[in-house]
């Protein structure tokens, strides 16, 4: 979780830079930077939970801004689908975990992730104003493909109850409802 959260910091910083490069509304750029700060906090929470002092430093290469179509594909997959589902899953975990402190931390992370998902859908709406109809249709396909990649929750492990993931059948139902909602 800590590694994923740390990667999300970089992803949101790159999103802000790419949005600015393509002339997106400044509110979207600011929200991407706020999301990067949220992910820094999430990284710290994850490190504290696993009793690790820090992650190894990652050398990040400076990349050229994505094209609008590359941004749209990445946003459709990572933001609209995966971030939206992550918000639901973490909210579910917060209600399912036994430890009160962990439940509170997961609840805050779920709120942040929901905000990030909302940002993704707002970026999607902005992109719809600058993409061609064919490109917009392609993004719908990207979203459908991403839903097929969502976790099926078939794993079992002794530590799953500690993080609120003990009821696999309920998680499968959450996934199914999310996929149906996106399809609608």
Write the pLDDT tens digit of every residue in 142-158. 999 999 888 765 555 44
Q: Which residues of 74-109 are buried (b: 16+ CB within 10 A; e: fewer)?
A: bbbbbbbbbbbbbbbbbbbbbebbeeeebbebbbbb
What's the total number of domains in the chain? 1
Identify the pLDDT of residue 157. 45
The whole domain housing 21 covers: 2-183
Residue 83 has pLDDT above 50, yes or no: yes
Q: How far is residue 141's CA from residue 161's CA, in Å, rounded to a whole number?
A: 35
Residue 125 has pLDDT above 90, yes or no: yes
């Amino acid at each position: 979780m800590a590694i994923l959260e740390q990667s999300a910091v970089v992803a949101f910083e790159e999103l802000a830079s790419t949005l600015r490069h393509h002339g997106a509304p400044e509110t979207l750029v600011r929200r991407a930077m706020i999301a990067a700060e949220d992910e820094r906090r999430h990284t710290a929470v994850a490190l504290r939970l696993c009793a690790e002092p820090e992650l190894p430093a990652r050398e990040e290469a400076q990349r050229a801004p994505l094209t609008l179509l590359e941004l749209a594909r990445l946003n459709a997959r990572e933001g609209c689908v995966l971030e939206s589902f992550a918000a639901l899953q973490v909210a579910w975990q917060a209600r399912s975990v036994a430890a009160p402190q962990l439940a509170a931390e997961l609840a805050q992370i779920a709120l942040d992730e929901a905000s990030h998902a909302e940002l993704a859908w707002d970026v999607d709406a902005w992109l719809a104003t600058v993409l061609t109809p064919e490109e917009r249709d392609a993004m719908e396909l990207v979203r459908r493909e991403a839903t097929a990649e969502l976790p099926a929750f078939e794993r079992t492990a002794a530590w799953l109850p500690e993080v609120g993931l003990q009821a696999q059948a309920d998680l499968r139902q959450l996934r199914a409802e999310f996929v149906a909602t996106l399809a609608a």
